[in-house]
């Protein structure tokens, strides 16, 4: 009976040794998986850092574009205001036609006056 107990005990110890070996292998597998997960997390953290930097650059560029756009709008508004001011001061077609009419009249008067002066000189 003692031999049987001893065999059972030996058998039990062997089973425990096998179980321990199996547990060691599972732990080793888990360690490898943990290392792989750590690598993936590190890679993702690096990607996130890069994305944050890219977002900062993009945000700065968007702000610069927006500021430039606002400046362009201010310039455009100033130009439109200047054009409106110039249009107020510009002669219209009717103004130009009236000026030409007056100029033609004045030229004809000058021509008559020169003719009269010429005739008077000729008479003397």
Is the model's pLDDT at 124 over the cut of 80?
no
Angle (CA) 32-35-39 rounded to 5° is 140
pLDDT at 88 over 90: no
Inform me whether the pLDDT recorded for 44 exceeds 80.
yes
Task: Average the pLDDT over 103-113 and give the result.
Answer: 94
Parent domain of 43: 23-90
Torsion on CA atoms 90, 94, 98, 100, rounded to nearest 10: 80
Q: What is the rounded CA–CA span in Å between residue 87 and residue 81? A: 10
What pLDDT was estimated at residue 42?
Answer: 97
54-to-44, 59, 86 alpha-carbon distances in Å: 15, 8, 47
Q: What is the spatial distance between Cα 38 and Cα 32, in angstroms, rounded to a whole number?
A: 10
Mean pLDDT, rounded, of the chain = 94
Contact assessment for residue 91 and residue 99, using Cβ atoms and an 8 Å cutoff = yes
**Same domain, yes or no: 115 and 62:** no
Judgement on whether residues 49 and 103 belong to the same structural domain of the protein: no
pLDDT of residue 2: 84
**Per-residue pLDDT for 87 more than 90?**
no
Q: Is residue 31 part of a domain?
A: yes
């Amino acid at each position: 009976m003692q031999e049987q107990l001893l065999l059972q005990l030996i058998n039990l110890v062997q089973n425990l040794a096998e179980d321990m070996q199996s547990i060691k292998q599972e732990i080793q597998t888990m360690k490898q998986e943990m290392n792989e997960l750590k690598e993936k997390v590190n890679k993702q953290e690096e990607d996130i850092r890069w994305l944050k930097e890219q977002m900062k650059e993009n945000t700065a560029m968007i702000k610069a574009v927006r500021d430039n756009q606002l400046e362009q709008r201010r310039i455009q508004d100033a130009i439109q205001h200047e054009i409106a001011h110039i249009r107020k001061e510009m002669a219209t077609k009717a103004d130009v036609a009236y000026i030409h009419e007056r100029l033609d009249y004045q030229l004809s008067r000058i021509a008559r006056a020169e003719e009269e002066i010429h005739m008077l000189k000729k008479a003397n």
